[in-house]
Structure 1
Amino acid sequence: MNPLLQNTLILTLILGFAAKEWLSRRYQATVHANANDTKLELAMFISLLALAQPIALLGADKVCTWLMPGQRDAWAGLPWWAMVGILLLADDMTQYWWHRLSHTPLLWPLHRAHHSAQYMSIRITYRNNFFYYLMMPGLWLAGVLLFLGLGKVYAFYIVVKMAVILGAHCAWRWDEPLYRIPALRPLMWLVERTISTPATHWAHHALSNADGIGHYKGNFGNLLFVWDMLFGSAHITRRYPPAVGLQDDKLFGEEHWADQMFYPLSQSARAHSALRPGGRPYEEAADAATAGS
C-alpha cells in the first residue's frame, strides 16, 4: 500500500469516527474534557507520531541492519495470510500481554493515563505515558518485521487495527444498535468474541467492577478479543458501565498532565498516587474491606 494512501485511510477513519461522535451528539453529552485532559492527549498524540513510533521502528531497522544485514526482505515472498498471522502474533498478541502487564503495580504508572479520562472517545485512544509506547514490544517487533519484508501487508493490517481500536474507544457505540436486531445476534456473538468492541472495551475502562459490567482487570485485547477468550481475561455483558475513569482521581483530584505523561521523570505531589515512589493506586476491593471493618 502506498504510504500516502495508508495515511489518507487512517485520517479518514479518525475523521469518520469523530463525525459520528459529533452527529450522534454523544460527544457533546458525554465528553467533558478539561484543559489538563486536552494537553495530555494532544502532547501524547504528537509525541507518539513524531518520537516514540519512529524511534521504535527506525531503531529496530538499525539494529537488524547491524545484526543481520543479509536478512532484509527475507520474508517478502511469504503469502499474505502468513504475514497477517505473523503480525497478529508479533504485534497484537504481544500488545495484549504488554497491556495486561501494564495493569500490574510495576507498569501501571505507565498506563494509568489511559484510564484517567472520565469519558470515552477516540481522543483517548493514544492517551498514555510516553514511555508506555517507547517500551512497547510490539512496536519494536513491527520494526523487525518491516525489515524482513512485511511492509505492504503491515500497511493494510495497521489500517484495520486502527479501525477496530478507534471504534472500541469511540463515544458513539457502534455495536449498541446491532445488539437490538434479533437476526444479527449470531453474528454479534461471533464479532464480540473476535475483535474489541465498545461494550467489551468500555467495561475495561469502568470506574467500578461492582455492578458486574465493569472489568478493568480484563478485556485487554486491542485488535483481537480472541486473546482475552484464549487467556481467560474476557468479560462479555453487552452492557456499558455507567461511569469510566479512576477512583483515586475521584477521591483525591486528577493528576497533572505532565506527571501522567512523563513519569518517572515528572512525579506527582499528590499524597495518594501511583505516580510517585512509594505511592499506591486506590484499590476498590481493599478500600471496601477497610470500610466494612
Structure 2
Amino acid sequence: MGIQYFSQVLIFGSFIGLLGWTITNQVGRTQLQVKSREDWLLDGTGLTIQGILIPLLQATLVYWLYQYLLPIQQGYLKLPLILAFVISFVVIDYLYYWNHRLLHTKLLWKVHQVHHTVTQMDVLGTSRNTLWTSLLIVYLWIHTLFLYLLADPTGYLLGVSLTSTLDLWRHSRLIIPANTKLYQFLSPWLILPQDHAWHHCCKIHNYNYGANLKIWDKLHGTYYKSKNMPSIIGIPSSLNLFQKLFFPFS
C-alpha cells in the first residue's frame, strides 16, 4: 500500500509541478491562453481516462481477467526489487517501442493520429487520444499482468511511476539546455522533451518512438537527433471533435 501511495504521489506531483511551471513560464502561459475549447476538452478527457479510468480498469476488470485465466499464478514470481524495476523500465519499454510503431502503421494510424493533433507541447496534451485508444496500448495489459504475478511488486511499481513521470515530462517544454552537464549525462540514453517533440513534428513523426530509452530507436534506425525543439508541432486533421473522441466509431 505504501509504494502504491508513493507512486500516485510521484505521478500526480510531477503533473502539478509541470503544470505549475507551464503557467509561470511566459511561453507556456501563452500556449495555454491560445488553447481552443476543443483542445481543452480533448486534453482534459485524455488525462481523466489515463489518470482515473485506466487505473480503475487495471485494478478491477483486467486484474479479474488474470484471476480467471491464471487462478494459481497470483504472486508466483519472486524477483529481486532491482530485477522487477528493470523489467518495468527497460523490458516493457522495448515492448512499448514496438507497440508505438504499430500505432504508426497504416492499419492503426487513423486511430493514433488524434494524439498527433497537439500543436504545442505541454503536459496537458500527454494523454490526448480517442476515448478507447488506451485499450490498444501495452501498458494497460502488461502492467496489470506483472502486478498480478509478482509476489512483491515494489520494484515494478517504481518503474511504472518513473515511466509515467517521464511521459509527462517529455510532453512538456521543460527542456534541459544543451550546454549543461545534466544534458550531457542524460542525452545519450534518455528520451528528452526535445526528442519527443520531433516525434510530434509533422515531417519527422515516424522517428523517436521510445518512451524511456533511446537505445531502441538507435538500434532500429528510427532515432532523429536534435538539440533544439521543432518550430512546428502537430499534423493537420479533418476530424471534428466527435470523431476525435470516438474515431473510427463515429
Q: TM-score, structure 1 length as denominator?
A: 0.77
Counterpart selection for 1:221 from 202, 210, 214: 210
- Structure 1 or 2, whichever has the larger Rg, is 1
The answer to whether 1:42 aligns with 2:37 is no
Q: Percent identity?
A: 23
Deviation at 1:83, TM superposition (A): 0.8
Contact 1:40 1:258 in 2 (8 A): no
Structure 1 unaligned spans of 5+ = 210-214, 267-293
Contact 1:196 1:221 in 2 (8 A): yes
Looking at both structures, which has the greater relative contact order when contacts are Cα pairs under 8 Å and sequence separation is at least 6?
2
Of residues 8-17 and 61-70 in structure 1, the stretch that sits farther from structure 2 once superposed is: 61-70
Counterpart selection for 1:261 from 224, 245, 250: 245
Deviation at 1:196, TM superposition (A): 1.3
Kindly provide the CA deviation profile for residues 5-52 of structure 1, in whole angstroms up to 9, marking residues without a partner as x.
Answer: 322222111111112212222212334310111111111222233434
Q: State how 1:192-207 maps to structure 2 within 5 Å.
A: 192-207=187-202
Of residues 48-57 and 21-30 in structure 1, the stretch that sits farther from structure 2 once superposed is: 48-57
Deviation at 1:154, TM superposition (A): 2.7
The answer to whether 1:2 aligns with 2:22 is no
Give distance in 2, aligned partners of 1:21 and 1:44.
Answer: 18
Contact 1:206 1:245 in 2 (8 A): yes
Contact 2:76 2:149 in 1 (8 A): yes
Question: What is the RMSD of the two structures over their aligned residues, measured on CA atoms?
Answer: 2.0
Contact 1:44 1:130 in 2 (8 A): yes
| SS state at 1:17 partner | helix
Kindly provide the CA deviation profile for residues 219-275 of structure 1, in whole angstroms up to 9, marking residues without a partner as x.
Answer: 0111222221222211111121111011x33xxxx5322211211211xxxxxxxxx
Letter of the 2:179 partner, please give it: R
Q: State how 1:58-77 maps to structure 2 within 5 Å.
A: 58-75=60-77, 77=78
Structure 2 unaligned spans of 5+ = none
Contact 1:44 1:261 in 2 (8 A): no
Give distance in 2, aligned partners of 1:103 and 1:111.
Answer: 7
**Which position in structure 1 is the counterpart of 2:82?**
81
Q: How many residue pairs get matched?
A: 247
